Amino acid sequence: MKFIEYFYVQILKYLNCSNIQLYPNIIMDNENVNGIVEEKSFDSNIMEESQIRHRTPWSDRISLNSDIPGLHEVKELLEEDDTSCLAEEEDGVGCPLPSTPEDDRLLDCEMTEVLKAGVLSDEIDLGALAHNAAEQAEEFVRKVWEASWKQCHFRNLPKWLQDNDFLHAGHRPPLPSFYACFKSIFRIHTETGNIWTHLLGCVAFIGIAIYFLTQTHMDMKWEEKLVIGTFFLGAIICLGMSFAFHTVHCHSECVGKLFSKLDYCGIAMLIMGSFVPWLYYGFYCDYQPKLIYLSVVVVLGITSIVVSLWERFGEPKYRPLRAGVFMGFGLSGVIPAVHYAVAEGWFKAISQASLGWLILMGCLYILGAMFYALRVPERFFPGKFDIWFQSHQIFHVLVIAAAFVHYHGITEMAMHRISIGDCAVPSQMMAF
């Protein structure tokens, strides 16, 4: 392997591949890199007819390393009769290895023989070798660039990454590698706060869901755990999709659009998941309105998801529309809340149905949506909130706070239902 790597490096340097000017006095013609090099000797007349053009004659080329011969030296090198190293066989390509374990002598011997057998003949496809070297050089440059990317200004971003023009500096450039995107979560940029707020929130809700649903001392029926599990699932999907979007949306335009759609679908899932437990416990014994409201919520949720999949829904100019769609979906919960309060009384609605927590949750969601749509505070102080305390981060924090408030409210409703038992008239269970 050591010899192969050494030989490969030498060939790359001789060919001056991958558009990297290893030798400053040589210019490769890009159109002829993949051409067939027909030179079979180093005769000066043949070199003039080669498909590769040079700024200076080959004979004037200066090697970068004294240990690596220039091409004008190869002929002399190959004509040397080193009997201690080379001994031609019948096929003209023999090279008995020296009996001593001297690595440098072995490498020189094998390098010379391979150059004689391959480079000066048609046995090695120089065009394919150049193409392969160019690809590897391009991959190497890409990896080096990804490892050393720097924050850039908003005006230097491609159009598909320009979302909030009030955030001036600290943006990530396009990172066409998922590894580089996920690695960037440990660096400071405009998306750092957005990533970590919902990443930590997602992990927190996963832990809470496991703890709550695996408790054995709670006398909960399986359908009650399923209903509350719907809320946990919606919260985890929403926060997880948001974290993923803010992490990889700089990968490429198509990846950014895909994950933005998943992000919006996650918001719709959270709203649906939040409705289900409250409607289940709020209308626990009123099956007909419960079924109607749950059906309406599902229809509105599916409609929101369909709208979220619209190709232009994620464009910056439709930011108010996005906020309006999800805000309207959330505010639709006012209708069943008022229905319950009128039917059961406001005191019971607040004490037993956690209506107070539901109202607080709605206020937090609405406030967050307003921060998001109006882009406050960076709208009034452009360039001052590029990294921290920007509107999207405030929106994320308020979403997590609202989700925890709702979790507290539905657990209170669940505990109240366990304490008072089932419906007073069991026959109502089959009423609708």
Distance, CA of 277 to chain centre: 33
The tens digit of pLDDT for each residue in 368-389 reads 999 998 999 999 999 999 999 9
Q: According to the annotation, is 392 in a ligand binding site?
A: yes
For residue 29, name the pLDDT band (cuts at 50, 70, 90). Answer: very low
Least confident of 5-19, 29-43, 133-147: 29-43
Reply yes or no on domain 160-430 having CATH 3.40.50.
no
Asked if residues 333 and 362 have their Cβ atoms less than 8 Å apart, the reply is: yes
Q: Which residue has the higher pLDDT, 144 or 324?
A: 324
7: its two tokens: 């030989």
Element spanning 193, H or E: helix 192-213
Q: What is the pLDDT of residue 226?
A: 94
51: its two tokens: 């498909």
Cα-only R_g, the chain: 35
The tens digit of pLDDT for each residue in 276-323 reads 999 999 999 999 999 999 999 999 999 999 988 888 887 888 888 888
Most confident of 84-98, 121-135, 170-184: 170-184
Backbone phi and psi for residue 71, each to the nearest 5 degrees, phi listed first: -65, -30
Helices (H), 1-148: 2-15, 44-48, 71-79, 103-114, 126-147
pTM of the model: 0.66
Q: Is 60 exceeded by the pLDDT of residue 209? A: yes
Least confident of 115-129, 212-226, 349-363: 115-129
Backbone phi and psi for residue 77, each to the nearest 5 degrees, phi listed first: -65, -40
Q: Is 70 exceeded by the pLDDT of residue 185? A: yes
Q: According to the annotation, is 131 in a ligand binding site?
A: no
Domain with CATH 1.20.1070 in the chain: 160-430
From 371, 356, 373, select the one nearest 408 (Cα to Cα): 356
Mean pLDDT of the chain: 77
Q: What is the pLDDT of residue 65?
A: 41
Least confident of 223-232, 264-273, 320-329, 367-376: 320-329
The tens digit of pLDDT for each residue in 123-167 reads 556 667 777 777 777 676 666 655 678 999 999 999 999 999 999
Average pLDDT over residues 32-36: 40
Q: Is 80 exceeded by the pLDDT of residue 45? A: no
- List CB contacts of 410: < 8 A, sequence separation 6 or more: 228, 231, 277, 278, 281, 354
21: its two tokens: 């000017």
- DSSP for 20-39 reads --SSTT----GGGTTSPP--
The tens digit of pLDDT for each residue in 237-268 reads 999 999 999 999 999 999 999 999 999 999 99
Cα 129 to Cα 13, 31, 35, 303, 426: the distances in Å are: 12, 15, 11, 55, 81
Average pLDDT over residues 270-275: 95
Helices (H), 309-390: 319-331, 334-344, 346-351, 355-374
Provide the Cα torsion 315, 317, 318, 321; round to 10°.
Answer: 160
Helix (H, G, I), strand (E, B) or coil at 200: helix
Q: According to the annotation, is 246 in a ligand binding site?
A: yes
Average pLDDT over residues 385-401: 97
Q: What is the pLDDT of residue 129?
A: 73
